[in-house]
């Protein structure tokens, strides 16, 4: 392929894994002469990294591709590629229906992208959607895109084995495989040495992370005693990353309720730099619906898990995913979801109505029989309740002091900083003499449904690197 310097523009949609994958793509393409840019205006190659989790997500991508049609018509040398979950799911259909698409690549085919682009330059269309049982991109140092220089994602595993009946992820991202722990710790250390202060460990289900000396074997119970002694599970990995520096804050996402263990909770309790926040998707508050979703737990089991979290980490923030109107859901079962939310008092939730995804177990076995207007009404009730809970919980934080990692300027005012507290809630406070990347203790003076607003009272000396505070005092 032509090795002269060219410009690459990547646009990412969907979950944090997609944004992390785009950084891997940028790194791979950089090795072949492509410079990642922040605007499509001067791009020679445009990649759209896609999401298939809901139909609305795919419709956004289709709309975006239509917007690119004019640019493609004005520059027939422009290469347009669709990456990620939607590419994996729709494959040839994308090239047939969206005539401007030149490259289609699934989540495990990113190493092949330079060759695929080369095929397009030779006048062909190019596709690779093969899924892998081994690919983790472990040795690739991601190119940090649109970075604030403070927070970064680290992918620790890929794929999912859970087979929830509503979810397309196992079909678009393949089977679970974990990344070698030493490469994860090395990436965290390199980020910290480069000035980053927070890393988020990513996986479709981080709590099932498992590595042993011979490779990324999934089932701990099938390991020999020797392999078990040599294995690294998620709680081990958390402690290893936290040990990089007490000034490196550690988060993780996402947890499946069935896999998060007391060992993980104890690791969080024992390390002040592991944030007290867990995203714990329930999806429904009704046991029959949970069984139909193939979530492998019931309402009582989920509630006991929440109790356990709050016992070991009393100040832990918990967020949730909720689906309204899953197949056959009755009004009483919807009320069970509302009552679970009220009991759990989630700090915030990601809330959707059910969107049937082709190829999933639910699409094959169950009728999508809850009318759309009922789904939307139930979703509104779920959103209204969560807003009420969030407002009250945030109101109760008025007068308290929280530690904030300064990330960016506030969207509403250049005079204010924005960061997140331990519980992953946005905090706004006046800039004064503080800088991006500082750990600052903030007294909360007022709140909204989604944020805490206050005034800084000083640096957090436990997390703030001594070199920073010493240099300021000098």
Q: Where exactly are the structural domains of the chain?
A: 6-128, 151-396, 401-473
How wide is the angle at C-alpha 63 spanned by C-alphas 59 and 66, nearest 5°? 140
CATH number of the domain located at residue range(s) 401-473 in this protein: 2.40.50.140
Q: Say whether pLDDT at 205 is over 90.
A: yes
CA atoms of 432 and 448, how far apart (whole Å): 22
Q: Give yes or no on whether 6-128 and 401-473 have one common fold.
A: no
Residues whose CB is less than 8 angstroms from the CB of residue 112 and which lie 6 or more positions away in sequence, other chains included: 105, 128
pLDDT by residue (tens digit) across 99-108?
A: 789 999 999 9
What secondary structure does DSSP assign to 370-409, as a single string? Answer: S-HHHHHHHHHHHHHHHHHHHHHHHHHTTT-EEEEEEEEE
Q: Say whether pLDDT at 182 is over 70.
A: yes
pLDDT (0 to 100) of residue 217: 57
Q: Which residues pair with 200 in a beta bridge?
A: 153, 251
Mean pLDDT of the chain: 93
CATH number of the domain located at residue range(s) 151-396 in this protein: 3.80.30.20
CA atoms of 137 and 25, how far apart (whole Å): 10
pLDDT (0 to 100) of residue 472: 34
Q: Which residue has the tokens 């190659």?
A: 45
Q: How far is CA 222 from CA 134, 296, 320, 419, 473, in A?
A: 19, 20, 31, 43, 56
CB 402 within 8 A of CB 427: yes
257-266, 270-279, 438-447, 461-470: range with lowest mean pLDDT: 461-470
Q: What is the mean pLDDT of residues 55-77?
A: 89
Q: What is the mean pLDDT of residues 354-366?
A: 95
Q: What is the mean pLDDT of residues 228-255?
A: 94
CATH superfamily for domain 6-128: Response regulator (3.40.50.2300)
């Amino acid at each position: 392929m032509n090795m002269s310097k060219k410009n690459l523009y990547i646009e990412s949609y969907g979950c944090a894994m997609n944004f992390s994958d785009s950084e891997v793509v940028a790194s791979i393409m950089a090795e072949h002469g492509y410079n990642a840019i922040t605007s499509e205006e001067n791009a020679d190659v445009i990649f759209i990294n896609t999401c298939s989790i809901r139909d609305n997500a795919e419709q956004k991508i289709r709309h975006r591709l239509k917007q690119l049609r004019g640019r493609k018509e004005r520059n027939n040398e422009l290469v347009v590629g669709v990456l990620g979950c939607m590419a994996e799911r729709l494959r040839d259909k994308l090239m047939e229906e969206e005539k401007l698409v030149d490259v289609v690549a699934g989540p495990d085919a990113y190493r092949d992208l330079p060759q695929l682009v080369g095929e397009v330059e030779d006048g062909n269309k190019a596709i690779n959607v093969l899924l892998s049982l081994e690919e983790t991109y472990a040795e690739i140092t991601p190119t940090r895109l649109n970075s604030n220089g403070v927070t970064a994602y680290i992918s620790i595993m890929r794929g999912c084995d859970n087979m929830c009946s509503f979810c397309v992820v196992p079909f678009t991202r393949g089977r679970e495989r974990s990344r070698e722990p030493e490469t994860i710790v090395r990436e965290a250390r390199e980020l910290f040495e480069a000035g980053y202060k927070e890393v988020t460990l990513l996986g479709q289900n981080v709590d099932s992370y498992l590595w042993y000396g011979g490779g990324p074997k999934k089932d701990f119970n099938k390991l020999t005693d020797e392999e078990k002694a040599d294995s690294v599970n998620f709680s081990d990995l958390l402690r290893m990353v936290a040990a990089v520096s007490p000034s490196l804050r550690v988060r993780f996402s996402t947890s499946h309720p069935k896999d998060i263990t007391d060992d993980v909770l104890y690791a969080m309790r024992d390390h002040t730099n592991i944030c007290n926040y867990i995203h714990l998707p329930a999806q429904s508050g009704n046991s029959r619906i949970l069984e139909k979703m193939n979530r492998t737990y019931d309402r009582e089991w989920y509630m006991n898990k929440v109790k356990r979290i709050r016992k070991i980490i009393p100040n832990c923030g918990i967020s949730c995913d909720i689906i309204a109107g899953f197949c056959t859901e009755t009004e009483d079962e919807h009320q069970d979801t509302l009552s679970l939310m009220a009991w759990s008092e989630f700090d915030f939730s990601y809330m959707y109505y059910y969107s049937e995804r082709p190829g999933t177990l639910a699409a094959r076995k169950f009728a999508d029989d809850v009318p759309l207007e009922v789904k939307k009404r139930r979703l509104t009730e779920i959103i209204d309740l969560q807003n009420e809970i969030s407002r009250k919980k945030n109101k109760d934080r008025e007068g308290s002091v929280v530690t904030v990692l300064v990330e960016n300027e506030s969207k509403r005012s250049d005079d204010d900083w924005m960061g997140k507290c331990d519980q992953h809630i946005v905090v706004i406070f006046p800039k004064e003499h503080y800088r991006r990347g500082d750990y600052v203790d903030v007294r909360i003076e007022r709140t909204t449904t989604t944020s805490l607003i206050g005034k800084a009272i000083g640096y957090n000396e436990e997390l703030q690197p001594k070199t920073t505070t010493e240099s300021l005092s000098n």
